Structure 1
């Protein structure tokens, strides 16, 4: 039996979503990998969502960004976002650490205001990205039970 590479596993996880959502996720992840060439990408195929975090050292607790894929949309998370200055009021969330931006599509990552927030988040990160680290993709967990990855059909009244 051939074992799947981490890339093949992630591709299979993304295939569970609608083609439109999977396309936004794939393009967003490609942009983040290009922007963060020294990150360790940590993948969690969780109950609620598929989460791909970007950490400077492979520790989830030191992660700076993540992309979460839900049945109807993709979200960019700032994992240390609570202290992030947000003059334009882009960040959503009220938790004790994380803030997020729901992405219209992958071009959200190209907006000047989002790029500025990301640059600030990297400067403020508790552990900086290290140029000596080579990008790596790591599948961290796969939940046995998961919510449907595609929107449920709307029932006619």
Structure 2
């Protein structure tokens, strides 16, 4: 049996509404995207294909007090509102505590930019192959 979104929600059920809000945002902006629940990673990812590090652009990872919305190529995204945190070579995240935060236009912009950045990245990689 394939893991499902509900398996990720079950890890931290207090964040069910927040996780559903994040999922709704991503699916609204990328309705034909690929969603993969990864219970071993304690996350659900969204991308242009099922591969986490090469095709996914974002993931949601619930913790006890918050949910991180991570961006695999976040260091390459415009972030005029300063939402992104992290110091890795590519990964960045936004920590969310309430479903209402997901309605932020700045967050929607980050998700939309992440989708487009991943499309550009994969196209450039395909040209170089």
Q: Distance in 1 between matches of 2:7 and 2:49?
A: 25
> How far does residue 95 in structure 1 lie from its aligned partner after superposition?
0.7
- Relative distance call for 1:30 and 1:96 in structure 2 (3 A) is same
State the TM-score, normalized to the length of structure 1: 0.66
How large is the Cα RMSD of the aligned pairs?
2.1
Could you list the per-position Cα deviations for residues 17-67 of structure 1 after superposition, in whole angstroms to 9, with x for gaps in the alignment? 24x223322332233223321111122113xx6211101021212211111
Per the alignment, residue 54 of structure 1 pairs with 46
Inter-CA distance 22–83: structure 2 relative to 1 (3 Å threshold): same
Q: 1:88 to 1:31 in 2, by over 3 A?
A: closer
What residue is the counterpart of 1:31 in the other structure?
25
Q: What number of residue pairs does the alignment pair up?
A: 120
CA distance in 2, matches of 1:37, 1:120: 15
Specify the structure having the higher radius of gyration (Cα): 1
**Structure 1, unaligned runs of 5 or more:** 129-157
Q: Tell me, what secondary structure is at the counterpart of 2:16?
A: helix
For residue 88 of structure 2, the aligned residue among 51, 73, 95 is 95
Does the aligned pair in 2 maintain the 1:56–1:127 contact within 8 Å? Answer: no
**CA deviation digits over 1:93-116, x for unaligned, max 9?**
001111010013223232111122
Where relative contact order (Cα < 8 A, 6+ residues apart) is larger, the structure is: 1
Q: Take 1:68 and 1:24, find their aligned partners in 2: how far apart are those partners? A: 11
Find the residue that maps to 1:72 and give its secondary structure.
coil
- Residues 64, 15 of structure 1: alpha-carbon distance in 2 compared, 3 angstrom cutoff: same
Q: What is the CA deviation profile of residues 86-133 of structure 1, one whole-angstrom value per residue up to 9, with x for unaligned ones?
A: 2221110001111010013223232111122222222222237xxxxx
- Any runs of at least 4 consecutive aligned residues in structure 1 with deviations exceeding 6 A, and if so which? none
* Structure with the larger helix share: 2
What is the Cα deviation at residue 13 of structure 1?
4.1
The aligned residue for residue 104 of structure 2 is 111
